[in-house]
């Protein structure tokens, strides 16, 4: 279910994109080979991603890893529209490869750690932090995300502010699960946050209505919208921003296409933070 959410974040990014190694005893014997793949002269990122998935299925693990790394590092140079795919589908596929081929997991963590260092050193901080939190979301490492953002809050608050809005679909659940409510309250922009939640909900519903995803996504979309919205209201309520919380409630009442969740809203206004979904 969590991968479903990462997948749907990828959809939003796609639509909004105008702007140490060890061997596994159970691995296929080909996994011990060195990759012989190099990118072609005019690489097609989508084709290379498809090839990486096929290589994984065929047990050609080193080639698959080389292609995932290439895609993550280079795909946007050739096709900027792959921005959402890069931090959703590709990361999920790369992590799946790591289940059978430990060097892939090692490399994914190394890329994550490099992104963290780039943020610390002030190198392309927003994009680097987005990579950091997206990889951690894929690896289900909320503590790493939460601890690093807390460090940014304490040491580089200007950077923390810059990255919060851009990455909160990944960041906010990690902070809430680790109960860093006060940190959340410092950086939440209620209007921008609610607009992001609403955009994700309507994107999901559009996918359902167009038949591009299964109807079960409708239930997911409703549950996710209710959870993210009540989380926002609750965080504002418990960090002395009750007027902002009420403004979100008022905005909800102005929308005619949203699910009913009055009881959950009242609990949130009373400061009850819901269990994070998914």
Q: How confident is the model at residue 16, as a pLDDT?
A: 46
User: Is position 29 within any domain?
Assistant: no
User: Is position 199 within any domain?
Assistant: yes
Residues 77 and 152 grouped into a single domain: yes
User: Is position 138 within any domain?
Assistant: yes
Which residues, given as ranges, of the chain have pLDDT below 50?
14-31
Question: Which of these three, 161, 185, 209, is where a domain ends?
Answer: 185
User: Is position 23 within any domain?
Assistant: no
Q: How confident is the model at residue 178, as a pLDDT?
A: 96
Residues 207 and 171 grouped into a single domain: no
Question: Which of these three, 185, 217, 232, is where a domain ends?
Answer: 185
Q: For the segment 16-43, what is each residue's pLDDT rounded down to a tens digit?
A: 443 433 333 333 434 456 789 999 999 9
Q: How confident is the model at residue 22, as a pLDDT?
A: 33
Structural domain containing residue 117: 2-13+43-185
Total domains present in the chain? 2
Q: How confident is the model at residue 243, as a pLDDT?
A: 97
192 vs 158: CA distance, rounded Å: 18
Residues 142 and 208 grouped into a single domain: no
User: Is position 141 within any domain?
Assistant: yes
Q: How confident is the model at residue 29, as a pLDDT?
A: 39
Residues 148 and 228 grouped into a single domain: no
User: Is position 75 within any domain?
Assistant: yes
User: Is position 18 within any domain?
Assistant: no
- The 3-state secondary structure of the chain, one letter per residue: CHHHHHHHHHHHHHHCCCCCCCCCCCCCHHHHCCCCCCCCCCCCHHHHHHHHHHHHHCCCHHHHHHHHHHHHHHHHHHCHHHHHHHCCHHHHHHHHHHHHCHHHHHHHHHHHHHHHHHHHCCCCHHHHHHHHHHHHHHHCCHHHHHHHHHHHHHHCHHHHHHHHHHHHHHHHHHHHHCCCHHHHHHHCCHHHHHHHHHHHHHHHHHHHHCCCCCCHHHHHHHHHHHHHHHHHHHHHHHCCCHHHHHHHHHHHHHCCCCCCCHHHHHHHHCCCCCCCCC
Q: For the segment 223-271, what is each residue's pLDDT rounded down to a tens digit?
A: 999 999 999 999 999 999 999 999 999 999 999 889 999 999 999 999 9
Residues 122 and 102 grouped into a single domain: yes
Residues 86 and 112 grouped into a single domain: yes
Residues 265 and 129 grouped into a single domain: no
Residues 48 and 170 grouped into a single domain: yes
Q: How confident is the model at residue 34, as a pLDDT?
A: 79
């Amino acid at each position: 279910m969590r991968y479903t959410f990462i997948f749907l974040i990828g959809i939003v990014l796609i639509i909004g994109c105008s702007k140490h190694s060890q061997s596994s005893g159970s691995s296929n014997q080909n996994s011990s080979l060195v990759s012989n793949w190099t990118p072609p002269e005019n690489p097609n990122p989508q084709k290379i991603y498809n090839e990486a998935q096929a290589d994984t299925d065929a047990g050609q693990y080193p080639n698959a890893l080389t292609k995932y790394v290439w895609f993550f590092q280079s795909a946007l140079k050739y096709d900027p529209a792959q921005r959402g795919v890069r931090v959703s589908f590709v990361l999920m596929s790369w992590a799946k490869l790591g289940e059978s081929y430990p060097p892939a997991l090692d490399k994914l963590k190394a890329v994550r750690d490099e992104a963290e260092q780039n943020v610390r050193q002030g190198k392309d901080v927003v994009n680097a932090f987005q990579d950091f939190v997206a990889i951690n979301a894929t690896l289900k490492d909320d503590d790493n995300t939460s601890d690093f953002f807390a460090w940014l809050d304490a040491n580089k608050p200007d950077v923390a502010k810059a990255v919060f809005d851009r990455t909160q679909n990944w960041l906010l659940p990690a902070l809430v699960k680790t109960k860093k409510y006060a940190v959340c309250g410092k950086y939440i922009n209620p209007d921008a946050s609610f607009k992001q939640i609403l955009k994700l909900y309507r994107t999901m519903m559009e996918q359902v209505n167009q038949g591009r995803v299964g109807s079960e996504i409708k239930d997911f979309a409703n549950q996710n919208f209710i959870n993210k919205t009540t989380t926002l209201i609750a965080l504002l309520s418990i960090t002395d921003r009750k007027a902002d919380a009420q403004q979100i409630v008022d905005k909800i009442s102005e929308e005619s296409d949203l699910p009913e969740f009055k009881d959950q809203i009242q609990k949130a206004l009373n400061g009850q933070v819901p269990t994070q979904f998914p």
